[in-house]
Amino acid sequence: MSGGTDMRDRFQMDSKGDRSVKEDMHMIVVVYYPAYLRKIARIIEVLGGWQEMKSLRVVVNNPAISEKHVESVFINAAPTVKIIRHDNEGLEFGAYQRGLNDLRASIPEPFTCLFANDTVGTHQPIDRFFLRNLHGAVRTYMGTKFISGRIDSAVRQVEVNHLLGTRWVRSNLFVMDNAALKSINHMIYVPELNAYINDSPDEDTFFGPAVAHSLRRHISGWLFSANPDAWYKAEPLSIKNSASMANKARCILQELFFSMRLANFDTGFVQPKPLTVAEKIAVRARFKKFL
């Protein structure tokens, strides 16, 4: 995501045949919401069947969810299912790191890993066509140092910890191969970024001194703006919401810096090929949907 990022973006629809190498596939899924468990389990079962997943680690980030219940819901999602309890430190990225650390301690490299959280299919609708295209991207690029998922972009560059970028992979569903994981030393979560944001209703205090102007503009526009392109829960910063907004801002920071670090080490960003017109019509008609 520094200069020349677009030249490193790889698009599945432009591929020249299968250039991948075979790596075992594993999954790490983070769950927060009891009501979302069955839907994300169905999605993971579809992906697990297509990708011939070797194992699934479900990281439980909510003490109200019982491990036995999670195990019963995900029991058919992979040949090996392991439930891991996490204390929500680092939120989504901390939970991903917890799962990855356990995976690395249990199996040898190389491996490719799918990461997801339980908002997929609920906060962000998803369909089997997209999952099929994600599967195709993984098969094509495995072993080439890639990350694949939905790619978002900003009009202007954003700076985080001296790295610049305009594009990032959404963190609720993505796949990385072993070379991409190694390029960032298997560090999904960077705890030091938490100090960039303070729990305060005052915006000048909310953003710490290490926050670049471009980053403040980006987060403010997403979280606190009345702009129709802002986050669906965007509202002015206040005493009432400062704690939840601080958590959301820290997640944005982790998501941006994660992609920036990968791009800095020339990891390919793979956008799964778009749906055809007929497939888009089918999705709008609520066919092939996880309901």
pLDDT at position 51 is 74
14 confidence band (pLDDT: 50, 70, 90):
very low
- Is 47:114 a contact under the CB 8 Å cutoff? yes
User: Which of the residue ranges 66-70, 156-160, 212-216, 287-291 would you say has the lowest mean pLDDT?
Assistant: 287-291
Residue 223 pLDDT > 50, yes or no? yes
Mean pLDDT value of segment 242-249: 98
| Nearest residue to 49 (alpha-carbon basis) of 21, 78, 28 | 78
pTM of model > 0.85 = yes
**What is the residue-averaged pLDDT of the chain?**
90
Name which CATH class applies to 5-193+266-284. alpha beta
pLDDT at position 39 is 93
pLDDT at position 17 is 40
279 confidence band (pLDDT: 50, 70, 90):
confident
Residue 13 pLDDT > 50, yes or no? no
pLDDT at position 288 is 56
9 confidence band (pLDDT: 50, 70, 90):
low
Q: What are the domain boundaries of the chain?
A: 5-193+266-284
286 confidence band (pLDDT: 50, 70, 90):
confident
Mean pLDDT value of segment 113-120: 96
- Residue 171 belongs to what H/E stretch? strand 163-176
Q: Which residues pair with 283 in a beta bridge?
A: none
147: left (phi over 0), alpha (psi -120 to 50) or beta: beta
pLDDT at position 172 is 96
pLDDT at position 291 is 40
pLDDT at position 171 is 96
pLDDT > 90: what percent of the chain?
79
CA distance 204 to 185: 34
Residue 135 pLDDT > 70, yes or no? yes
Residue 248 pLDDT > 90, yes or no? yes
pLDDT at position 10 is 52
Copy the structure tokens of residue 261: 């670090």
50 confidence band (pLDDT: 50, 70, 90):
confident
| Nearest residue to 272 (alpha-carbon basis) of 188, 169, 177 | 169
